[in-house]
Amino acid sequence: MQRRILIGGLAACVCLAAALPATAGAQSTVPVTLNFNHLVINTSVTPDAQIVSTMTQPATVDANVDTSTGQFTVPTSGFTAPTYNFTSPTAGSLTLTLASPASGTVDPTTGALTLTADFLADITTANYGSCDQPTGTITLSTSGTTPFPGHLFPTGDTGFVTGAGAFGGGWSSLPTGTGSGCSIIDSFIQNQPGGIWISRDISPVAAVPAKLALTPSKVKSVKAGKKATVKVIVANSGGSATTSSVKVCLSVPKPLKGSKCESIKSLASRQTKTLSFSVTTNEKTGSYKLTLTASSKGVSTAKKNVTLKVTK
């Protein structure tokens, strides 16, 4: 007998599935609405940002499920999540949607679930303009480990509809976005890893140590004798712990001048701070490696290198 996914708790779907013939090859697609009360998007400038929590409206997935195979599709308009407002590194908002239809599978015998999608982040900032930033096609699954571990849903026909579970996945880099603010926004996030994690009744907050991370923007080349600016986002990308004082330093080679350290009083979990350093050049041209470090008591030091090109 063919395996069926009888979607309990949704009377219309159950009746439709039950009325289908059980003959070999018979298939049926039923609409199922899935609600999730946690959604995290992790980028270098929004480390593990909780777009959806128990304090917000849920994320909703309107799926069309094939009851004979467990495969499902989600139309482009079938994924909704509340707009997320942020204040760092600049004030703005992010709305997550789908760039194209998504698909996935669910296995009621194990509770495993996968979702393959190209998400689209509509980012609007006060200072840099707006950017429609796609993730590219990524797969979120209950066996994923980023940004947080996945978790199998309860087994049975209704486990993935009503039970606790989590699925996530990530990217190593992002495609180029479109919009007036993308040249600035992409310089911070495009070549950085990140991911998305969605769950029902499983909290993403873990009691793990603080962790420092540095995300410098690309340094613009300057003519010899001019000053260059190095911008960097400093983040605590760890769990629930807050750092003590953070020392952020820029080291530059000779003949450049501008080696300097700045202090940040503390960084709470997921908090970021943007710093700027000025580098003075002389008449000598060439490419120079600049080193950024961030350190705090009891936390591993973070280090990033950037290149400054000095031209005639």
- Whether the ω angle into residue 108 lies within 30 degrees of 0, i.e. cis, is no
Q: What is the DSSP letter of 12?
A: H
Q: What is the DSSP letter of 218?
A: P
Task: Compute the average pLDDT of residues 202-214.
Answer: 76
* Residue 25 located in a structural domain: no
Residue 20 banded pLDDT, cuts 50, 70, 90:
very low
Residue 1 has pLDDT above 50, yes or no: no
Domain end marker among 172, 200, 228: 200
Q: Are residues 127 and 250 in the same domain?
A: no
* Residue 178 located in a structural domain: yes
Residue carrying structure tokens 């007036």: 180
Interatomic CA distance for residues 249 and 201, integer angstroms: 41
Q: Are residues 168 and 258 in the same domain?
A: no
Interatomic CA distance for residues 5 and 108, integer angstroms: 7
* Between 211 and 109, the higher pLDDT residue: 109
CB 60 within 8 A of CB 77: no
Question: What pLDDT shows up at residue 46?
Answer: 82
Question: What pLDDT shows up at residue 191?
Answer: 87
Question: What pLDDT shows up at residue 209?
Answer: 66
* Residue 20 located in a structural domain: no
Residue 220 has pLDDT above 90, yes or no: yes
Question: What pLDDT shows up at residue 241?
Answer: 66
Residue 10 has pLDDT above 80, yes or no: no
Reported as a single tens digit per residue, the pLDDT across 286-295 is: 999 999 999 9
Residue 7 has pLDDT above 60, yes or no: no
* Residue 19 located in a structural domain: no
- For the chain, what is the mean pLDDT? 88
* Residue 80 located in a structural domain: yes
Cα angle at 116 between 113 and 121, to 5 degrees? 120
Q: Are residues 145 and 272 in the same domain?
A: no
Which residues contact residue 98 at a Cβ distance below 8 angstroms, ignoring those fewer than 6 apart? 74, 75, 76, 77, 78, 79, 117, 118, 119, 120
**Cα 303 to the center of its chain, rounded Å:** 22
DSSP letters for 83-145? PEEE-SSSSEEEEEEESS-EEEEEETTTTEEEEEEEEEEEEEETTTEEEEEEEEEEEEETT--
Cα angle at 111 between 108 and 112, to 5 degrees? 110
Residue 215 has pLDDT above 60, yes or no: yes
* Residue 116 located in a structural domain: yes
Task: Compute the average pLDDT of residues 286-311.
Answer: 94
For the chain, how many structural domains are there in total?
A: 2
Domain end marker among 175, 200, 225: 200
Reported as a single tens digit per residue, the pLDDT across 229-266 is: 999 999 988 765 678 899 999 999 999 999 999 999 98
* Between 6 and 289, the higher pLDDT residue: 289
Question: What pLDDT shows up at residue 21?
Answer: 34
For residue 218, the enclosing domain spans: 212-311
CB 282 within 8 A of CB 225: yes
Pairing between strand 227-236 and 212-216?
antiparallel
**pTM of this structure:** 0.65
**Segment (H or E) for 199:** strand 194-200
CB 70 within 8 A of CB 104: no
Q: Where does 126-160 show beta strands of DSSP type E?
A: 129-141
Question: What pLDDT shows up at residue 17?
Answer: 40
Residue 120 has pLDDT above 90, yes or no: yes
Q: Are residues 73 and 154 in the same domain?
A: yes
Q: Are residues 162 and 294 in the same domain?
A: no
Question: What pLDDT shows up at residue 14?
Answer: 39
Residue 208 banded pLDDT, cuts 50, 70, 90:
low
Q: Are residues 242 and 130 in the same domain?
A: no
- Whether the ω angle into residue 134 lies within 30 degrees of 0, i.e. cis, is no
Interatomic CA distance for residues 262 and 94, integer angstroms: 30
* CATH code: domain of residue 256: 2.60.40.10
Residue 5 has pLDDT above 80, yes or no: no
Number of neighbours of residue 12 by Cβ within 10 angstroms: 10
**Highest mean pLDDT: which range of 131-140, 143-152, 210-219:** 131-140
* Residue 9 located in a structural domain: no
| Residue 16 phi, psi (nearest 5) | -65, -45
**Closest Cα partner for 45 from 200, 218, 226, 235?**
235
Residue 186 banded pLDDT, cuts 50, 70, 90:
confident
Question: What pLDDT shows up at residue 269?
Answer: 76
Residue 96 has pLDDT above 60, yes or no: yes
**Closest Cα partner for 55 from 78, 28, 84, 92?**
84
Question: What pLDDT shows up at residue 78?
Answer: 98
Question: What pLDDT shows up at residue 239?
Answer: 63
Q: Are residues 127 and 224 in the same domain?
A: no
**Closest Cα partner for 131 from 144, 120, 122?**
122
Task: Compute the average pLDDT of residues 28-47.
Answer: 92
* Residue 223 located in a structural domain: yes
Residue carrying structure tokens 């041209």: 285
